């Protein structure tokens, strides 16, 4: 028998990607009634390096969005989990745009009202045009993980990672082998580092360099499980750190994670690694070897991470062109 709380229905004002019925259907396994509405006394902002916006109180502001009508308590808990601990669920007053009716609804306000990552106005139509397809692919994977009994917890759902890659992982085919999907990928520049070749290896490294810069890609919206996969592949000669990159499409600064080489004085470091040369000379062999490695990882009786660097070494470093 259902409790009275589980039968309670909620109206929830949404103002970002959850305005899109396709996204809501992924999260709730249904599309509730959706009505257009305006929330006075708040302002919507973009967040650096993220595909979703936030709202904070603003005396003269107003936010146009949608109200999801008749959300169950279980569905509301789902929303709470997805929004995570950087938002606070509050009750606010909105005005329906179809009949000017005022309604008390729930919404999710950004807790840190002075967050330096807030800037500019988030645009729903721009998001649909540029990011919707990749967002839904990522969101489906997150929700599938949540629905599994041994799936990810709520923290995994709310905490997605943006990872700057600068070597073979710039190639979408490689990423697909590692993650079983291709996330959104954006071009970016990392200042304060320099990229080098590694003798006898098909992958590069980066180390700090005051006047250096590295051109690469950012993998957007990786889950915690996917990040652990990247950690495993990178191994113990790299360390994962936070850095700031600059997106090439809009000059936006982003805080991301990346993997510099731990041994900054490694004698195997030398020369500039070239992505186009790598694609031309080594990509086919690399993908074949990397596919074998990931199959081993997924096989409980397979070989371990120690095989990784051996498999991805050049057959004859003395004679073969190094990447």
- Asked if the model's pLDDT at residue 149 lies above 60, the reply is no
- Asked if the model's pLDDT at residue 300 lies above 60, the reply is no
Residue of 27, 17, 11, 182 lying closest to 102 (CA atoms):
11
Residue of 160, 180, 148 lying closest to 82 (CA atoms):
160
- Asked if the model's pLDDT at residue 307 lies above 60, the reply is no
pLDDT digits (tens, 9 = 90+) for 29-50: 999 999 999 999 999 999 887 8
Contact 269, 194 (CB under 8 A): no
- Asked if the model's pLDDT at residue 199 lies above 70, the reply is yes
Q: Please state, for a pLDDT cut of 90, what percent of the chain lies above it.
A: 56
104-118, 188-202, 291-305: segment of lowest average pLDDT: 291-305
- Higher per-residue confidence, 308 vs 17: 17
- Asked if the model's pLDDT at residue 270 lies above 70, the reply is yes
- Asked if the model's pLDDT at residue 122 lies above 90, the reply is yes
The pLDDT value recorded for residue 151 is 44
- Asked if the model's pLDDT at residue 7 lies above 90, the reply is no
The pLDDT value recorded for residue 289 is 86
- Higher per-residue confidence, 120 vs 6: 120
Q: How confident is the model at residue 109 (pLDDT cuts 50, 70, 90)?
A: very high
- Asked if the model's pLDDT at residue 2 lies above 60, the reply is no
Residue of 36, 17, 145 lying closest to 95 (CA atoms):
36
The pLDDT value recorded for residue 1 is 47
- Higher per-residue confidence, 2 vs 245: 245
For the annotated catalytic residues, the residue numbers are 234
The pLDDT value recorded for residue 3 is 47
Q: How confident is the model at residue 4 (pLDDT cuts 50, 70, 90)?
A: very low
* E strands in 155-274: 161-165, 185-198, 205-222, 241-247, 253-258, 269-270
- Asked if the model's pLDDT at residue 320 lies above 80, the reply is no
Contact 220, 162 (CB under 8 A): yes
Mean pLDDT across the chain:
86
- Asked if the model's pLDDT at residue 67 lies above 50, the reply is yes
Largest CA distance in the chain: 77
Q: Is 24 left (phi over 0), alpha (psi -120 to 50) or beta?
A: alpha
69-73, 201-205, 290-294: segment of lowest average pLDDT: 290-294
Q: Please state, for a pLDDT cut of 70, what percent of the chain lies above it.
A: 85
106-115, 140-149, 165-174, 271-280: segment of lowest average pLDDT: 140-149
User: Can you tell me the mean pLDDT for 82-99?
Assistant: 93
- Asked if the model's pLDDT at residue 84 lies above 70, the reply is yes
227 sits in which H/E element: helix 224-234
Whole-Å CA distances, 168 to 107, 273, 279, 282: 42, 10, 8, 10
- Asked if the model's pLDDT at residue 185 lies above 50, the reply is yes
Domains within the chain, CATH numbers bracketed: 10-124 (3.10.490.10), 161-312 (3.10.490.10)
Q: How confident is the model at residue 160 (pLDDT cuts 50, 70, 90)?
A: confident
Backbone angles phi, psi at 57, to 5 degrees: -60, 140
Whole-Å CA distances, 53 to 15, 74, 87, 286: 8, 24, 11, 38
The pLDDT value recorded for residue 181 is 86
């Amino acid at each position: 028998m259902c409790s009275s709380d589980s039968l309670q229905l909620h109206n929830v004002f949404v103002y970002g990607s959850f305005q899109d019925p396709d996204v809501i259907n992924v999260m709730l396994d249904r599309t509730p009634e959706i009505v257009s509405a305006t929330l006075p006394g708040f302002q919507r902002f973009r967040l650096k390096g993220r595909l979703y916006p936030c709202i904070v109180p603003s005396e003269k502001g107003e936010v146009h969005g949608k109200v999801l009508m008749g959300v169950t308590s279980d569905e509301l808990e789902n929303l709470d989990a997805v929004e995570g601990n950087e938002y606070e669920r509050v009750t606010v007053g909105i005005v329906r745009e179809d009949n000017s009716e005022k309604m008390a609804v729930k919404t999710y306000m950004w807790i840190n009202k002075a967050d330096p990552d807030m800037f500019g106005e988030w645009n729903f139509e721009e998001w649909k045009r540029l990011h919707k397809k990749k967002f839904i692919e990522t969101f489906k994977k997150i929700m599938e993980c949540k629905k599994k009994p041994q799936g990810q917890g709520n923290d995994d759902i709310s905490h997605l990672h943006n990872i700057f890659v600068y070597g073979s992982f710039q190639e979408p085919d490689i990423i697909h082998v590692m993650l079983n999907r291709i996330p959104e990928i954006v071009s970016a520049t990392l200042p304060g580092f320099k990229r080098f070749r590694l003798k006898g290896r098909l992958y590069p490294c980066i180390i700090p360099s005051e006047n250096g810069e590295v051109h690469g890609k950012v993998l957007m919206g990786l889950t915690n499980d996917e990040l652990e996969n990247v950690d495993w592949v990178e191994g113990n000669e790299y360390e994962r750190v936070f850095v700031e990159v600059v997106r090439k499409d809009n000059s936006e600064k982003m805080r991301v994670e990346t993997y510099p080489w731990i041994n900054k004085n490694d004698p195997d470091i030398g020369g500039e690694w070239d992505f186009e040369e790598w694609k031309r000379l080594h990509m086919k062999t690399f993908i074949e070897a990397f596919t074998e490695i990931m199959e081993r990882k997924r096989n409980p009786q397979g070989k371990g991470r120690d095989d990784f660097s051996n498999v991805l070494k050049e057959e004859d470093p003395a004679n073969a062109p190094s990447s």
